[in-house]
């Protein structure tokens, strides 16, 4: 192997290691941020965050996770999702019964819009909101089945 080739390989290895280190750093940061986000979402869904348990990740464009809210009367299942249009964006929280029926809808926060204060009206102002709620209900029902 020529000297030049060896140098090139060493340079590539060094660059690759540096990038690998950066990737590891950012991966650790993302895990920390995820855990803080989960804590925030738990707070948003229930009065007592201690009663909320994060279940597995969900593959959905609008929400990441389903939460189980343990109450004395039984469990309900919650989801925090975002909706966005070209003019506004908002974060909503929804809780469902184990069968997937909507129990409560909350408007957690909004940006750049005069959204209605009623969460249902606010959600209706975004396209695709029914589809999102229906997917969230299905995810809650599936999580309830796995949980029981």
Sheet of 89-96, strand order: 52-57, 65-71, 74-84, 89-96, 102-111
Size of the site for another protein (CB under 8 A): 39
Element (H, E) at 106: strand 102-111
Selected from 91, 97, 125, 147, the binder of another protein by CB under 8 A is 91
Note whether 33 binds another protein by CB under 8 A. Answer: yes
Q: How far apart are CA 145 and CA 70, in angstroms?
A: 15
Question: How near is the Cβ of 72 to another protein at its closest, in Å?
Answer: 27
114 counts as binding another protein under rule CB under 8 A: yes
Of the listed pieces 46-54, 89-97, 116-124, 140-148, which binds another protein according to CB under 8 A? 89-97
Cβ-contact 115, 122 below 8 angstroms: yes
Least distance (Å) from another protein to the CB of residue 31? Answer: 8
Our finding on whether 40 is near another protein (CB under 8 A) is yes
Out of 17, 37, 118, 134, the only residue in the binding site for another protein (CB under 8 A) is: 37
- The rounded distance, in Å, linking the Cα atoms of 144 and 68 is 8
CB nearer to another protein: pick between 64 and 147: 64
Q: What kind and span of H or E run contains 33?
A: helix 3-45
Task: Please report how close the Cβ of residue 113 comes to another protein at its closest, in angstroms.
Answer: 7
Structure-block tokens of residue 38: 């989960």
Paired residues of 46 in beta bridges: none
97, burial (CB in 10 Å: exposed 0-12, middle 13-18, buried 19+): middle
Query: Binding pattern to another protein, positions 9-28, x when CB under 8 A?
Result: --xx--x---x--xx--xx-
Residues lying near another protein in the complex (CB under 8 A) are found at: 11-12, 15, 19, 22-23, 26-27, 29-31, 33-34, 36-37, 40, 44, 57, 59-61, 64, 82, 84, 86-91, 108-114, 127-128
């Amino acid at each position: 192997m020529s000297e030049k080739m060896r140098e090139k390989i060493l340079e590539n290895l060094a660059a690759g290691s540096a990038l690998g280190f950066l990737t590891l750093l950012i991966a650790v940061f993302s895990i920390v941020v995820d855990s803080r986000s989960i804590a925030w979402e738990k707070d948003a869904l229930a009065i007592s965050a201690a009663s909320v348990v994060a279940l597995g990740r969900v593959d959905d464009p609008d929400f990441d996770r389903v939460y189980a809210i343990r109450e004395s009367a039984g469990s309900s299942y919650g989801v925090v999702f975002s909706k966005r249009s070209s003019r506004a964006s908002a974060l909503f929280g929804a809780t469902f019964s184990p069968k997937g029926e909507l129990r409560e809808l909350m408007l957690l926060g909004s940006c750049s819009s005069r959204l209605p204060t009623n969460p249902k009206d606010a959600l209706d102002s975004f396209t695709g909101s029914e589809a999102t709620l229906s997917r969230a209900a299905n995810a809650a029902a599936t999580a309830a089945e796995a949980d029981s």
